[in-house]
Structure 1
């Protein structure tokens, strides 16, 4: 049977007297982008530092392509590329000098390092900046150099911790596109506290809150996890909000335009039938009605609140 690219089992870590993460577990069996989601301080960076061998866990195991990271760290790390929040760049070096240095650190065959550097530069759009000092590059291109060092040895797994943090909108779009290309050939773990970023890039997510894994599924399942709590309607002749509040289950009414409304309800989905019947009865000329899809931020808040309630 084919080994998982990464398998995380019962991962826990304690700083001093408090647990940063507890009993984190998941695995990745295919290429593509997995989003690691959580607010700042949730435990994402601790989890990634352990997965990449930067930090030794208090409990649990990490296997990279079947190799126990703690027992055989050098062998396991050959299959890992890591870009932490602060890219490990030597800004006084040129792009070529830095990537050659990274190739030697990765113990690449000396005869192959030049080719590996050229391939990493080409993949990350850095070929024309070979002789440029890293410190003189824009933030977006410095981040590309950081990604290049993470893929120079062609690892099975690339871990990116907040890779678009601090970039301008155009740079963010460019880095996102690069990450998608890289994920065509290997597994990528993409960490962010920005929900819209994860939504754009990832098909599967793992969400950590207060050091615990609170969600592990596809992005579609995540979007649909919390039932809608509002309805959008369009009417040619809408009534005053007070009239709609008389309908059983309706809790709040907002006018978005003269004919478009957002109606909040108490969770009983039969409220739509009551709205339709009442509209027909009063001749409000209902044109459209549909459940509002919860924003990722609302789902995130729901899952976080659930975690707090069970602890």
Structure 2
């Protein structure tokens, strides 16, 4: 068994009388990008803030590299990097000054600071802006600087809260690429409610809804959470719907316009085989057939019961 990078055990937290999260359990034992997914108000931020030692939980515990963050927060936080939704930047400092300040906060020895600062600037693509005031950086470069402060102490575990929020399409692609580079050397948790962000960036998903963990698995497992039950078909000869409805394994047919049809099936292999055989026999000129997966939005709705 690989060593746990993060282990969350029976985690619950209550604000006043309202439970924000309840009995959440999961473990991360390998590097990669983990999406912490959920709708607004689901409990993502509460979970993330507890994992980073910002909030003390009501019940349960979080272990970072085997260290209980509630009992030994200073030691545990040596292994954690955190980028809040709004990067904690000081606009009156330049890039190098700000990273030096962050290095001091992270107790990096003075002799090691110049190397750590230079390495993180190069990693995040901001070395050419080292003397520029932070207020004069674009939104994309401010986000890069926010990521730089999160990894300057070379943590094993990095938490990013909505890291592409408010960026333009080109900036989003650049930040995604940077996150993937960072994840080659460490574990990254990316908190978001945007499904496309998870699909484009993450390897694994942990989904929280109404304070409970409702999914834990790979992105492929998430994509296939709802078993497909429809075939998209293109038949250039456009047979009558009644002819398609009587095919073995087919339980329903929708006309999509032109030569396109959607067939609902009980058995995909039987439906596909009979479709191909009948198309050849009757000259339907089958040019396309594929199983339709459920959309991410449909899966999200099913898991969140909305």
Counterpart Cα distance in 2 of 1:262 and 1:20? 45
Matched, 1:31 2:27: no
**What is the CA-CA distance between 1:120 and the residue it aligns to?**
1.1
Q: Distance in 2 between matches of 1:264 and 1:165?
A: 39
Equivalent position SS for 1:217: strand
Question: Is the contact made by 1:81 and 1:150 (CA closer than 8 Å) also made in structure 2?
Answer: yes
Counterpart Cα distance in 2 of 1:175 and 1:285: 46
Change (3 A) 1:275 1:194: same
2:50 matched to 1:57?
no
Tell me what 2:255 maps to.
253
Structure 1 residue aligned with 2:178: 178
Secondary structure at the aligned position of 1:221 is classed as helix
Which residues in structure 2 correspond to 1:204-283 (within 5 Å)?
204-241=204-241, 244=244, 248-255=250-257, 258-259=258-259, 261-265=260-264, 269=268, 270-273=270-273, 275-276=275-276, 279=279, 282-283=282-283
Structure 1 SS opposite 2:108: coil
How many angstroms apart in 1 are the aligned matches of 2:150 and 2:49?
Answer: 14
Alpha-carbon distance change, 267 to 45 in structure 1, aligned in 2, over 3 angstroms:
farther
Query: Residues 2, 290 of structure 1: CA spacing in aligned structure 2 closer, same or farther, 3 A cutoff?
Result: closer
Corresponding residue for 1:101?
101
Structure 1 residue 275: Cα displacement: 4.3
Alpha carbons of structure 1 residues 166 and 245: separation in structure 2 relative to 1, 3 Å: farther
Provide the residue aligned with 1:67 in structure 2.
67
Q: Is the 8 A contact 1:250 1:271 kept in 2?
A: no
Asked if the contact 2:234/2:261 (under 8 Å) is kept, the reply is no
**Residues 72-81 or 203-212, more deviating:** 203-212
The question of whether the paired residues in 2 share the 8 Å contact of 1:245 and 1:252 is answered with no
Residues 214-236 of structure 1: per-residue CA shift (max 9 Å, x gap): 11111111111111132111112
Higher mean C-alpha displacement, 173-182 vs 233-242:
233-242
How far residue 29 of structure 1 moved from its aligned partner, in angstroms, is 1.4
> 1:237 & 1:171 partners in 2: Cα distance?
46
- Mapped to 2, the partners of 1:59 and 1:32 lie a distance apart of 28
- 1:8-44 per-residue CA deviation (whole Å, 9 max, x = no partner) reads 1111111222211111111111222111111222111
Alignment CA distance shift 1:262-1:164 (3 Å): farther
Report whether the alignment pairs 1:132 with 2:128.
no
Alpha-carbon deviations, 1:240-280, whole Å to 9, x = none?
5566456651153322xx33x24152655454455456545
The CA RMSD over aligned residues, in Å, is 2.0
Bigger Cα displacement from structure 2, 281-290 vs 33-42: 281-290
Segments of structure 2 that go 5 or more residues without pairing to the other structure are none
In the superposition, the TM-score normalised over structure 1's length comes to: 0.90
**Is 1:141 matched with 2:141?**
yes
Cα shift at 1:282: 4.7
CA contact (8 A) 2:228 2:292 kept: yes
Give the CA deviation at 1:300. Answer: 1.4
Provide runs of 4+ in structure 1 moved above 3 Å: 240-248, 266-283
Within the alignment, does 1:160 sit opposite 2:160 as a pair?
Answer: yes
